[in-house]
Amino acid sequence: MAIDLKLVSVFLAVADAKSFRGAAERLGLTHSAVSQAIRRMEDRMGVTLIQRTTRSVSLTEAGMRLYERVGPAVAEVELALDDAQDRGSQPTGLLRLAVSSIAERFISGPLLASFTHAYPGVQVDVNITDEEFDIVAEGYDAGVRLGEVIEQDMIAVPVSGDQRQLVVAAPSYLERFGRPANPSELSRHCCIGWRPAPDVAPYRWEFEENGREFDVAVNPRITTNDMGVMVRTACAGGGVTFGMEETFRPYLDRGELVSLMEDYLPPFPGFFLYFADRRNLPPKLRALVDHVRYRSDRNGNETSFEAG
């Protein structure tokens, strides 16, 4: 049976809006035109798809089955058409990225600079956030986080090599309070902790011994959501803190901080650009993925993996 795809589009608009008027506004049609389109589709199929009352619009059982099967298929067709249309032109539009604070240095700087030079038609909006949310539902094209916390249904591309977390303190602090030899001794020290938000418990420090992973709630005396505060306080002798080696490296090299308990802190997979698993990526996102992969290949990193 041949069905006019324009009628299918009207049906999906009514189903999404749960309203003939809302569908008409979305499609730029009159209320009458929408109603007639649905009636023609139902007449051709010989089944009622939408139950109408004076106060509401709802899908019948047949309408719901059709909506659940046709909706994703039409979305794929629209993406494929957009993809084919944009293949011959430079990507354009706004690319929204949600980046965790500890990953900021891996997505900014040379990577973003070279990307914007290569694709001048793309505007990049980077939101630095440590909140956990669904990037698709919140309208982001992609995000950058540690690989171990990325949802299993996402596709991920590395933007860094393996990473490592360290426990550090200033020499002045160690001279005054001694050097903790293992994680169990941290409870006797003044710790500087991190939390992403005021109503969230402080981050538990993660360690490994003989292949066994464990974490420690250090009950920090100082807690903040700003890594700069943690580093400056530690350098001033304010206590022991925990974070990414990349963050501490300049201070370690200058002798302002000392690394502790390194045997308990092995490397782990680093930061990844991640995005929804879909067949046809928008050209602007595909351009960023290709750019990241190209830079990763040049740096000798793995090119991609499925998270989880």
pLDDT digits (tens, 9 = 90+) for 253-290: 999 999 999 999 999 888 899 988 766 678 899 899 88
Distances from the Cα of 194 to the Cα of 11, 18, 50, angstroms: 50, 45, 53
Q: φ and ψ at 158, to 5 degrees?
A: -70, 140
Query: Can you tell me whether residue 133 is helix, strand or coil?
Result: coil
CB atoms within 10 A of CB 278: 13
pLDDT at 136 > cutoff 60: yes
Q: Give the confidence band of 79 by pLDDT, cuts at 50, 70, 90.
A: low
Instruction: Work out the burial of residue 227: count CB atoms within 10 Å of its CB; fewer than 13 is exposed, 13-18 middle, 19 or more buried.
Output: middle
Q: What is the mean pLDDT of residues 238-246?
A: 93
Mean pLDDT highest for which of 18-27, 241-250, 252-261?
A: 252-261
Q: Give the confidence band of 292 by pLDDT, cuts at 50, 70, 90.
A: confident
pLDDT at 304 > cutoff 80: no
Strand pairing report for 271-276 and 222-224: unpaired
Print burial letters for 237-264: b (CB count within 10 Å at least 16), e (below 16): bbbbbbbbbbbbeebeeeebbbebbeeb
**Distance in angstroms (rounded) separating the CA atoms of residues 303 and 293:** 6
Please name the residue ranges forming H helices in the chain.
Answer: 5-17, 20-27, 31-45, 61-86, 104-107, 110-118, 171-177, 227-235, 245-253, 283-299
Q: What is the mean pLDDT of residues 144-161?
A: 83
User: Are 144 and 273 in contact, with CB atoms under 8 Å apart?
Assistant: yes
Give the residue, 278 or 209, on which the prediction is more confident: 209
User: Are 205 and 186 in contact, with CB atoms under 8 Å apart?
Assistant: yes
pLDDT at 247 > cutoff 80: yes
Give the residue, 304 or 185, on which the prediction is more confident: 185
pLDDT at 186 > cutoff 90: yes
Mean pLDDT score across all residues of the chain: 85
**Distance in angstroms (rounded) separating the CA atoms of residues 125 and 107:** 12
Q: What is the mean pLDDT of residues 220-246?
A: 93
Q: What is the mean pLDDT of residues 214-226?
A: 91
Q: What is the pLDDT of residue 307?
A: 36
